Structure 1
Amino acid sequence: MTALLEVQDLVVEYGRGRKAFRALHGVSIDVAPGECMGLVGESGSGKSTLGKAILGL
């Protein structure tokens, strides 16, 4: 079955050079048709960053 959403080894960094902060490192997600996925975590764990990266914002 083909994945509806497929993310492989996602990395998100803020800033540049020595001041860069890696917010997400190596995140992979596969969601198949008919599946439901929830994302749960502590404040500041990268949930919104992941969602924005997937949407291209």
Structure 2
Amino acid sequence: HFFFTIWAATQTYADFASQISLMLGKKKLARKDFDNAANFLTDMVLNGIVANSGK
């Protein structure tokens, strides 16, 4: 499930960039948008691992 989560999140940006642009109110995603997404997803995944490491 970990792999599926990473794959789904990153593939969304590859396949649906135009829809994401629309939702962000932009004509086109910039490099910074992809960097922000990568930072968010990295934090989400790593914090999820750390938060569950005691189980």
Q: Is the pair's TM-score, using the shorter chain for normalization, greater than 0.5?
A: no
TM-score by length of 1: 0.29
Pick 1 or 2: higher relative contact order, CA cutoff 8 A, min separation 6.
1
Q: Higher strand proportion, which one?
A: 1
TM-score by length of 2: 0.30
